[in-house]
Amino acid sequence: MQSTLSYLWKMDDVLGQGATASVYKARNKKSGELVAVKVFNTASYLRPQEAQIREFEVLRKLNHQNIVKLFAVEEIQESSKQKVLVMEYCSGGSLLGLLEEPENAFGLSESEFLIVLRCVVAGMNHLRENGIVHRDIKPGNIMRLTGEDGESIYKLTDFGAARELDDDEKFESVYGTEEYLHPDMYKRAVLKKPQQKAYGVTVDLWSIGVTFYHAATGRLPFIPFGGPRRNKEIMYKITTEKPSGAIAGTQDQENGPIAWTYELPIACRLSLGLKRQLVPVLANILEADQEECWGFDQFFAETNDILHRTIIHIFSLSQVSMHRVYIHSYNTATIFLEQVFSQTNIAPHHQEYFFEGHPCDLEPNLQAHNFPRTTENSPLIMLSMELEDPVGLRYRDPALEFPKFLPKIDVVVDCSTAKGVLTATYQTLRISQSFLQCQELLLSGLYWVSETLKTECLQILEKRQAIVATFGCLQQEEMKLSRLYETIAAEGEIPEMKTMAELKTRLQAVSEEISRYAHSISEHQATIRCILSEVGKKWSQLKEDRSIQKMEACLDKMQLIYSQFKKVRKCLRLGYNEQQIHKLDKVNLGHLAKKVLSVFHENCVQHYQAALSGHGTRMRKTFEMKKNLKKLNKSLTMCSTEMSECQNCLYKALDELPQRILQCKMTSSAPRQLYVNQKHQDMVFGMQELQDQMKIVAHNLQLNNSIIQRLNGIAPGL
């Protein structure tokens, strides 16, 4: 146990160790509050006095939530010379510790990475505002704690190498950790070669770039054959010969070529939307030439641009793929649709959206802050108006990632292998969870689309019924008016009779067109009922599937074995009984891994592939129905227009009837005058009766037309 005036700690409560100091978990003697104390060793006091006091001075100058706080500077009571920095304790450990967990071997989740990005950028901005260059940025010097809302907070720490430096100043001393070190500094510090260059503040940007790549992928960006610390010359070659735009370089065989990478790997857990925002940042700060590298102003501008974007979650129902679009809140739907097109290759005018069961119409000028609030589990569902083949999730078969245990006992190798097994298991579980999520969204989207189609069928039937009613009224009045004209025609030639005959033909054509719809709609309704029934069955099967729970149960057991392997790893020798237990644990871990793979391939993959296959068939039916319903609606609209013209024709004939009666009366012969007068009186009476009836018909037609227009307005997608 050691202590200062106000704090005490155990020597085995080590949080971290460096070349010049060790950090321990300590407590305040009065309050019991946990703190971190940095105790400097003998090597630290061999440094110049300026270097010894620099960290104290830098920390006193800084005050930010993303910088570890300095509470006090005290001395160990047993030794008046040993200085102790009393700092904020971060219970979550370091970012490096988080990345070394098997769960994060392929990088952090997107949400956690964005928190790291935001915190590091904010902390670095505070350093630059105070003219501080850190010179040793790496995951091990980024601490984590959990805030009151449960969200992680990351803080920069270890300012032993930090110093005050303005943007236009240079320094010549070398500090840092070699994997994260700028190539110019690497040449002098690691390769021990003369280097006449002075270094500017942008060396921190290189370290940030390596750190961000590590956080995003779980691995370093530049890896020579044998590793960075075993092949230092090639490490320097990779970092200095990196082509513009490349963000990583690896050498897979001794003296082999370097493979350059310009994108983040497929196993990376970040979405394509975020990758496209992040890659240009990495490419421009991982520049060995300090003149070509971005400055901090541009770095802050570009990273804050990412952090201030709105995330829109999208599930492409046609392609069965998840997407995230990063867009500014003031950007319009037009820009959003183009962003979706860049990820899905589905043209903007072919994109149709649903949200929580309802059609979602994104007007071209609608700004993103007025979009529905989406989440990963409640995204916008996008349907393509063109037939698309299901794409599904891109993934690497996790069976290729599971390492094999060696027969002999080697606690170090076995622990490493166990970590690899857990890493592959976590990846397998994530892929399986993605399969399940896709199937759930697939069924939800198909259900919503089917319900919409069912509504459209009912609307078309209602529209057809209104047209049929209108047609019936028109046909009756056409027959009455035709009889009157026939009576008049007996007295002479009537030109309008030809028009009446054409009207009759047109009405007959409308009647035949309408009669064809009932059967077609009935077939569509049967297909929709079939799809909805299939969706219901698939939902029941998904709810009964326990594959994820089985894999999680295996993972819990594997985690316990791995924890035991980490403890055993510290032992120099194992007794006989410990060896037997260790062997059994290796066997059990292997069995559990096989069970996970079996559940994955025999359940998760098969169910997912079956879902994709069945979904393709159902989407083709849906696409054909949508196309047919659109055609039916267009035909009904044309029928409605045709009947309006027929109605106008009837009104015109009715308006001209009195004039025709008068003409007929004037041309009648005298001997038949009395008879004709009586006949004309009957015709006038019939005309008046017809006019009264036509007023009623006109009212009904107007009502039916309003219904048809309303149905035209509320039939989405038609």
Model pLDDT for residues 362-412, shown as the tens digit of each residue:
999 999 999 999 999 999 999 998 888 888 888 888 877 899 998 899 999
Angle at Cα 114 formed by Cα 23 and Cα 437, nearest 5°? 120
In terms of Cα–Cα distance, which of 496, 487, 497 is closest to 664? 487
- The residue among 671 and 679 whose pLDDT is bigger is 679
pLDDT of residue 278: 97
Whether residue 598 has pLDDT greater than 70: yes
79-97, pLDDT tens digit by residue? 666 788 899 999 999 999 9
* Residues 140 and 104: beta-carbon distance below 8 Å: no
Measured CA to CA, the distance from residue 391 to residue 319 in angstroms comes to 5
pLDDT of residue 164: 61
Confidence category of residue 197, pLDDT binned at 50, 70, 90: low
Measured CA to CA, the distance from residue 284 to residue 293 in angstroms comes to 6
136 given a catalytic annotation:
yes
DSSP 8-state class, residue 14: E
- The residue among 499 and 137 whose pLDDT is bigger is 137
Confidence category of residue 675, pLDDT binned at 50, 70, 90: very low
Whether residue 620 has pLDDT greater than 60: yes
Lowest mean pLDDT among 472-476, 551-555, 592-596, 675-679: 675-679
* Residues 309 and 328: beta-carbon distance below 8 Å: yes
CA 109 to chain centre: 12
Whether residue 45 has pLDDT greater than 70: no
CA 81 to chain centre: 55
The residue with tokens 């170090």 is 412
Which helix (H) or strand (E) segment is 506 a member of?
helix 496-515
3-state secondary structure 165-224: CCCCCCECCCCCCHHHCCHHHHHHHCCCCCCCCCECCCHHHHHHHHHHHHHHHCCCCEEC
Q: What is the mean pLDDT of residues 652-679?
A: 55
Q: Which amino acid is at 31?
A: S
In terms of Cα–Cα distance, which of 453, 473, 463, 474 is closest to 517? 463
Confidence category of residue 210, pLDDT binned at 50, 70, 90: very high
The residue with tokens 């392609």 is 319
What three-state secondary structure class fits 429?
A: helix
Strand partners, 163: 133
Whether residue 693 has pLDDT greater than 70: no
Structure tokens at 31: 């309050």
The residue with tokens 């994260």 is 180
> What percentage of the chain carries pLDDT values higher than 90?
48
pLDDT of residue 292: 84
Q: What is the mean pLDDT of residues 301-324?
A: 95
Instruction: Render 553-600 in DSSP notation, one character per residue.
Output: HHHHHHHHHHHHHHHHHT-S---HHHHHHHHHHHHHHHHHHHHHHHHI
pLDDT of residue 686: 56
Burial 627-649 (b: 16+ CB within 10 A, else e): eebeebbeebbebbebbeebbeb
Whether residue 674 has pLDDT greater than 80: no
The residue with tokens 């319903």 is 629
pLDDT of residue 707: 57
Measured CA to CA, the distance from residue 656 to residue 650 in angstroms comes to 10
Strands in 222-223's sheet, in edge-to-edge order, are: 222-223, 248-251, 258-261
The residue with tokens 């068939």 is 617
- The residue among 250 and 501 whose pLDDT is bigger is 250
Lowest mean pLDDT among 122-136, 436-450, 484-498, 505-519: 484-498
Selected catalytic residue, list 136, 158, 204, 585: 136
- The residue among 201 and 413 whose pLDDT is bigger is 413
Among 198-207, 297-306, 573-582, the range with the most confident prediction by mean pLDDT is: 297-306
Confidence category of residue 171, pLDDT binned at 50, 70, 90: very low
- The residue among 200 and 343 whose pLDDT is bigger is 343
pLDDT of residue 552: 96
Q: Parallel, antiparallel, or unpaired: how do β-strands 34-40 and 21-28 relate?
A: antiparallel
Measured CA to CA, the distance from residue 352 to residue 180 in angstroms comes to 46
* Residues 325 and 277: beta-carbon distance below 8 Å: no
CB neighbours (10 Å) of residue 373? Answer: 10
Structure tokens at 190: 């690691």
The contacts of residue 454 (CB under 8 Å, 6+ apart) are 525, 528, 532
Measured CA to CA, the distance from residue 104 to residue 90 in angstroms comes to 19
